[in-house]
Chain A
């Protein structure tokens, strides 16, 4: 059993303490917006916020996540208003297949909350998610659009 706080709600989940947070979120909490890409903290598809910090949920156990405030892509919008990153993603038509984008958006949202006006170098350093479709150009443009708004 584990008690997790996800998107402001408390979930009591029947999972082993060493279950990766990713799978507890997807399978036990039923929030499938967070994606599985590699399971070894390489790709970023599973990125969520843990106490506001972008975290690859496949590399964190449920035990480690207990007591932390977890936000997934489903919890990024607030009160029916999409987060500015989501809005920019729609306006700039960023996603191709979209599978990496939950993680990409979570990583970008965390970057912008820390650095509202990131330079290209800041983006290069903070955004290390894999996108096999190759949306990097649109990702960069959308970040700059938000930063200059």
Chain B
């Protein structure tokens, strides 16, 4: 076998038929850490292993499989590899392998999926091993050269020293030899308390280009001979194209082609996107909207309300004791119904992808949260086998879950297939993006709580009614029809467990799936579950005549980690000391994505309708903190995203379509509305939790509970826009 195999040549050795690649890639994972055949990066530098390439000038190229969309895990993952590698951080740069290369090498880079706050926590073990293995091999190569035992050599910042003789060399000088060594079977990872690169609030690696306009996002891709496409999908989900009158726009400046995309969309291809969009707007299209055109927010609300009735079937997600008997025999019964609407992700960069299709090749350039899913979509949409396809990932202008979907990738390929040899950049208008999202699911929740004569919570019945994401997106993950993720934040155990012990508890879900397509929206089901549970806890505390913090604490004895973050925010906001005149506080906690989070807000309210958020305190225990500066930004960003949804978000349905079409009707918080977020990190170690999403769960309930403290009025419906409540 050729000793110098480039990833590209290697690829031919592993031909995978499209049959093996359905919605996911049904190929096993093989994570070797090097081997006798040297694999080379594009510039010829040797791979010590798949994660680490070292150039002769000592530059360390760290491969990152997960996607960067602003959350900072590109930098965090590089920190973890560099920590074990013991290289010079100032010489670190990063590179994305392509999913095609990974598949050709038996998925050497593992999972590419970047969602569920999993970017770091589910790959930390093998990327650290990648760094540690490379370190051992590099030291061994130096020791071999010096003919001394490796145990007599040390390394710091990429400089290897043989202590006894005082000889030194660098990673760049021994990388070639190291790449030929057999990797050690086992490596010991550092104790996080000994970290010097990981665990530190280092600056991100990808900032400079974002300040000069040179960072390339999908929307910025330029290829020779490229044309631009604008698209309109049937405004009613599930509808189809009946006809379109192409003659009306032929001859318009720049227009090259009008194509049908699947059975539901039409695209105009032109020299520039502005020309394509202008022509598309002038194109008469007749839709077959189908029965879904009869659906509205009102019909959905009515259907969901029916699911709150105990007589309707429901899946049980968490249960102990006998709720019904306990409620029947209780001294006091409290009941409330809440609801949470559809939400659009509204990533700052609208969906887009660029595709080049020829008879024997299909390549796509796009921002995606899941390179392998995008790759599988390219295979399916192009009809070409894996070795003839690839996806080139670029920076995402926001993801929040939306770019884990591949609809826009499929569309781009479908258009490019109709114009072989011409690269096509498909860009959605903001209007298309707002009306063809994969929305945060819609739900309602009826909660019934029971207090005994001493005002102890003896029973809690939590009945959700509404949409399941998995039903639509990953039906294979349903368990006998039940969506286990529906109980995120109120589950019995696991990474999103309820933090309260209630002697009689029933948490259930009446699944109702309207036609509006749901998706994973930052925080996912934690969002509404945390609002429902945490606002209702406040209602129960009030009914019990107790302080909301004290009332919660009494139920949390068996959940010390949940309690610790709650205590941390209470202390930081000064819960036990009175708030200044006219200032009111709210508090909330939840567990999600393996992390424990809590939040507290101070607000003032004028005329019951003008809310000023004055202060936010947030605490998180993600087990380990890889980059505290980035975790802080994720916490603050979660509040901006969560409070935007609370005040301004919400997508309504009329005639089967989404009514909000742009930021004028689906607004987002601005700098004047957002106070500083004071974050308190209390990593307790021993587990790896996510940080990009969990905090969003406490943003809305902390503010809603403060609103009650200020006004005595409970808000049980989101968004506040619809209740004439706005930022002051």
Chain A, Cβ-Cβ closest to B346:
A132
Decide if B207 touches A97 in the complex (CB within 8 Å).
no
In-complex Cβ contact of B670 among A38, A96, A128, A133 (8 A): A128
Decide if B72 touches A132 in the complex (CB within 8 Å).
no
Decide if B347 touches A33 in the complex (CB within 8 Å).
no
Q: Is B190's beta carbon under 8 Å from chain A?
A: no
Decide if B211 touches A86 in the complex (CB within 8 Å).
yes
How long is the Cα–Cα vector from A18 to B212 in the complex, in angstroms? 28
Q: Known contacts A99-B217, A137-B674; decide if A130 and B203 are in contact (CB<8 Å).
A: no
Q: Is B554's beta carbon under 8 Å from chain A?
A: no
Q: Is B208's beta carbon under 8 Å from chain A?
A: yes
Interface string of B658-692 (1 = CB under 8 A from A): 00001110001111101011000000000000000
In-complex Cβ contact of B210 among A19, A98, A136 (8 A): A98
B454 to chain A, nearest CB (A): 43
Q: Is A77's beta carbon under 8 Å from chain B?
A: yes
In the complex, chain A residues whose CB is within 8 Å of the CB of B637: 96, 133-135
Chain B, Cβ-Cβ closest to A134:
B640
Q: Known contacts A35-B397, A45-B348, A133-B348; decide if A96 and B71 are in contact (CB<8 Å).
A: yes
In the complex, chain B residues whose CB is within 8 Å of the CB of A100: 348
A131 to chain B, nearest CB (A): 7
Q: Is A34's beta carbon under 8 Å from chain B?
A: yes
In-complex Cβ contact of B207 among A72, A73, A90, A130 (8 A): A90
A27 to chain B, nearest CB (A): 4
Decide if B213 touches A20 in the complex (CB within 8 Å).
no
In the complex, chain A residues whose CB is within 8 Å of the CB of B213: 31-34, 72-74, 102
Interface string of B408-433 (1 = CB under 8 A from A): 00000000000000000001011000
Interface string of B232-250 (1 = CB under 8 A from A): 0000000000000000000
Q: Which of B336-353 contact A (CB under 8 A)?
A: 346-350
Chain B, Cβ-Cβ closest to A97:
B70
Q: Known contacts A27-B273, A73-B212, A136-B674; decide if A98 and B663 are in contact (CB<8 Å).
A: no
Give the interface centre of B70, B396, B668 by most chain A CB atoms within 10 Å: B70
Q: Is B195's beta carbon under 8 Å from chain A?
A: no
Decide if A133 touches B668 in the complex (CB within 8 Å).
no
Interface string of B199-223 (1 = CB under 8 A from A): 0000110111111111111011010
Interface string of A119-135 (1 = CB under 8 A from B): 00001110111111111
In-complex Cβ contact of A136 among B72, B215, B350, B640 (8 A): B640
Decide if A82 touches B674 in the complex (CB within 8 Å).
no
Q: Which of A91-149 contact B (CB under 8 A)?
A: 93-102, 105, 123-125, 127-140
Secondary structure call for the B interface: loop
In the complex, chain A residues whose CB is within 8 Å of the CB of B677: 137
How long is the Cα–Cα vector from A125 to B538 in the complex, in angstroms? 35
Interface string of B256-289 (1 = CB under 8 A from A): 0000000000000000111000000000000000
Q: How many A-B residue pairs have CB under 8 A?
A: 176
Decide if A28 touches B70 in the complex (CB within 8 Å).
no
B688 to chain A, nearest CB (A): 22
A101 to chain B, nearest CB (A): 5
Decide if B671 touches A139 in the complex (CB within 8 Å).
yes
Q: Is B398's beta carbon under 8 Å from chain A?
A: yes
In-complex Cβ contact of A20 among B209, B274, B633, B674 (8 A): B274
Give the interface centre of B207, B272, B671 by most chain A CB atoms within 10 Å: B671
Interface string of A17-51 (1 = CB under 8 A from B): 00110010001101111111111101101000000
Decide if B212 touches A130 in the complex (CB within 8 Å).
no
Secondary structure call for the A interface: loop
How long is the Cα–Cα vector from A35 to B347 in the complex, in angstroms? 13
Q: Is B381's beta carbon under 8 Å from chain A?
A: no
**What's the tally of chain B residues with a CB closer than 8 Å to chain A?**
60
Q: Known contacts A19-B274, A35-B219, A132-B668; decide if A43 and B348 are in contact (CB<8 Å).
A: yes
Q: Is B451's beta carbon under 8 Å from chain A?
A: no
Chain A, Cβ-Cβ closest to B206:
A98
Decide if B430 touches A37 in the complex (CB within 8 Å).
yes
Q: Is B60's beta carbon under 8 Å from chain A?
A: no
Give the interface centre of A33, A74, A94, A127 by most chain B CB atoms within 10 Å: A33
Q: Is B395's beta carbon under 8 Å from chain A?
A: yes
Decide if A43 touches B663 in the complex (CB within 8 Å).
yes
Decide if A27 touches B274 in the complex (CB within 8 Å).
yes
How long is the Cα–Cα vector from A89 to B206 in the complex, in angstroms? 12
In the complex, chain A residues whose CB is within 8 Å of the CB of B216: 32
Decide if B629 touches A124 in the complex (CB within 8 Å).
no
Q: Which of B619-646 contact A (CB under 8 A)?
A: 629, 633, 636-641, 644
In the complex, chain B residues whose CB is within 8 Å of the CB of A64: none
Decide if A99 touches B640 in the complex (CB within 8 Å).
no
Q: Is B253's beta carbon under 8 Å from chain A?
A: yes
How long is the Cα–Cα vector from A133 to B204 in the complex, in angstroms? 15
Q: Is A16's beta carbon under 8 Å from chain B?
A: yes
Decide if B211 touches A82 in the complex (CB within 8 Å).
yes
Decide if B672 touches A93 in the complex (CB within 8 Å).
no
Q: Known contacts A32-B219, A33-B214, A35-B397; decide if A134 and B639 are in contact (CB<8 Å).
A: yes
Give the interface centre of A97, A125, A128 by most chain B CB atoms within 10 Å: A97
Decide if A36 touches B350 in the complex (CB within 8 Å).
yes
How long is the Cα–Cα vector from A38 to B633 in the complex, in angstroms? 25
Give the interface of B toward A (CB within 8 A): 69-72, 203-204, 206-217, 219-220, 222, 228, 253, 272-274, 346-350, 395-400, 427, 429-430, 629, 633, 636-641, 644, 662-664, 668-672, 674, 676-677
Offer 12 A-B interface pairs, CB within 8 angstroms, sorted by A.
A28-B272, A82-B212, A89-B207, A90-B203, A90-B207, A94-B207, A96-B71, A101-B210, A128-B670, A132-B346, A134-B641, A137-B676
> 10 other contacts beyond A23-B274, A130-B668, A136-B640, with CB at 8 A cut-off?
A27-B228, A33-B213, A35-B397, A93-B203, A96-B71, A97-B347, A97-B395, A97-B399, A133-B348, A134-B639
